[in-house]
Amino acid sequence: MKKFLFSFLASALFVVSGHGQTLNIGDTAPSASYKMMNIDGSQLSINDIKGENGALIIFTCNSCPFVVGRGETTEGWEGRYNGMTALASENGIGTLLVNSNSARRDDSDSFMKMKSHAMEMEYLAPYVLDEESKLANNFSARTTPHVFLFNGDLELIYVGSIDDNVDSAEGVEEHFLKDAITRSAEGKRIKTNTTKAVGCSIKRAKS
């Protein structure tokens, strides 16, 4: 767990922030039928991507170093998205990547840049635009990334970070999300069902 307290936490540029109380374990996914624009032009909701055994929702973006990395300083978590998407799919869980940075639609998180970024990273999961941060607000999602894993009844079974080391996949000691997916699929209790979401704050437009 010491690896989780990486050097970024000392930087004023990146924060762990809140927007109300996030969902609690056992809560039902809010706005499951809310449609969002996928990068391929289709409209998708959580219900649309949900698998027999649940749904994995990852709030993300195009530019946060906790997502995309920063040179040799940190690898970022984005490179692990496809692995988690594939693992989830193997276990009957659908995945949705959500960009809720509504304050940056004219900048790094425009729909066109979402398209190009997803193509560059070869995302396996749909990547949708959350208008006015509606889904993020209803989830009280805080950071990019922020992970929410639901079971087949869309009840929250894990929330927080992907793992304990944003700097390096090879340095991970605690595979929070991976363990939650596999243990859930095996019908076992998830030992760690809540961790701190660490990353850049979701950039909500001012009302």
Chunk the chain into consecutive blocks of 10 residues (it has 207) and report each block's average pLDDT, rounded to whole numbers.
41 42 92 98 98 97 97 94 98 98 96 98 98 97 98 98 97 98 95 97 91
Phi first, then psi: give them for residue 111, nearest 5 degrees.
Answer: -65, -40
Amino acid letter at 7?
A: S
Is 19 among the domain residues? no
Amino acid letter at 127?
A: Y
Is 142 among the domain residues? yes
For the chain, percent helix, then strand, then coil, each to nearest 5?
A: 30, 20, 50
Is 15 among the domain residues? no
Please report the pLDDT score of residue 2 as a whole number.
41
Is 51 among the domain residues? yes
Q: Domain containing 104 — which CATH number? A: 3.40.30.10
Is 140 among the domain residues? yes
Q: Domain count for the chain, please give it.
A: 1
Is 181 among the domain residues? yes
Please report the pLDDT score of residue 145 as a whole number.
98
Question: What is the domain range of residue 54?
Answer: 26-194
Peptide bond into 126 cis (omega under 30): no
Please report the pLDDT score of residue 20 as a whole number.
59
The token pair that represents 6 in the structure block: 């990486």
Q: Are strands 93-99 and 127-129 parallel, antiparallel or unpaired?
A: parallel
Is 171 among the domain residues? yes
Please report the pLDDT score of residue 96 as a whole number.
98
